[in-house]
Amino acid sequence: MFQMMLSGLTIGAIYGLLGMALSISFYVTRVINFAQGQMLMIAIIVAACLSEAGFNPWLGVALGPLAACVLGVASYFIGVRPILKADRFSFGWMVSTLGFGLVVENAIAYAVGPRSRGFPPLLNDIPIRLGDAVITGQQILALLVAAFAVAALEFVRKRTLFGKVGMATAADPEMAESIGANTMIVSAVTFALSGLIAGIAGVLIAPRTFANPYLGGTFNTFGFVAMMIGGGPENPANAMYGGLLLGVLAEGANSYINSQASDWFPFLILVLVLIVTPRGLFSTSNPLFRPRPARPA
């Protein structure tokens, strides 16, 4: 049981990072970037190709997320901004971001080939025993990065000028522009940040998976489910809590149902959560988490 919990939390941290990446861009622009999984994919591909070419694997760990960051900016200027300029209230971005992601993954498949590539173990071959369970250095790193990402995001969102401008842009872009905020720069930086987070998730999961141009869609789905369970659009940090819960439940389904259950079980959990609380399990609108009014003295 403890081993299952540890495994679930570590893979859930990856889902949570992807959910955070999705919810950050939605939080500011009200756009869900359905090409987010391709940013995780390109980080893994860049890191794997550099390692295959004989470079130090840690160079790929550094450059992979930067490539994802650049792709995030490109997705905004190519797949999102033209749609929002034409009609801020349309849902054309659903098609444009999906199309952008498909173009990216097929371009990568054409450039490097569709075959799967292995990835060096990095810290994944360093076992650490905790009682009867075993956790690897790579899994510990994933949990630490997830905790740091949540803390850093909350600090930026609540304590910095950029975070406050981002909240103003999310609430009313026209009003934000009228007081001098450059909403285009704010949105572009937001997409760059979401791409960077997805890229970091990619290099964290890479030693446990493989590099393939078509794996982005699968991870994008899990990130979306994590975001919706957590109520991430309201507060991006909640997506991490949703991801951790999703990871534990998916590992439990693998252990107690069958090894293929994680393919469909998260969607069952999502449906049940949204029936009970449509805004997400960790949303402040959920009665379980809503502060109780103080009793009169």
pTM for this model (two decimals): 0.88
Q: What pLDDT does residue 244 have?
A: 92
Instruction: Give dist(CA 24, CA 196) in Å, integer.
Output: 11
Segment (H or E) for 134: strand 133-136
Half-sphere exposure of 256 (CA within 13 A, CB side): 10
Query: Quick check: helix, strand or coil at residue 25?
Result: helix
For tokens 């991006």, what's the residue? 236
Which residue is it, tokens 């399990």?
281
Does the structural domain 2-276 have CATH classification 3.40.1350?
Answer: no
- List the one residue out of 85, 86, 43 whose CA is nearest residue 66: 43
- Cα dihedral: 202, 270, 79, 103 (round 10): 60
Q: For residues 217 and 105, what is the distance between their CA atoms, to the nearest angstrom?
A: 9
* pLDDT by 10s per residue, the chain, length 297: 788 888 889 999 999 999 999 988 888 888 889 999 999 999 999 999 998 888 998 999 999 999 999 999 999 999 999 988 887 777 888 899 999 999 999 999 999 888 888 888 888 888 888 878 888 888 999 999 999 999 998 888 888 877 777 777 766 677 777 777 788 888 899 999 999 999 999 999 988 888 889 988 888 888 988 988 887 666 788 899 989 999 988 888 887 787 777 777 778 888 888 787 776 666 655 554 454 554 544
Answer yes or no: are the C-beta atoms of 8 and 249 closer than 8 Å.
yes
**pLDDT of 113:** 87
Q: Residues near 224 by Cβ (< 8 Å), separated by ≥ 6? A: 19, 22, 32
Residue 114: both structure tokens together: 């569709």
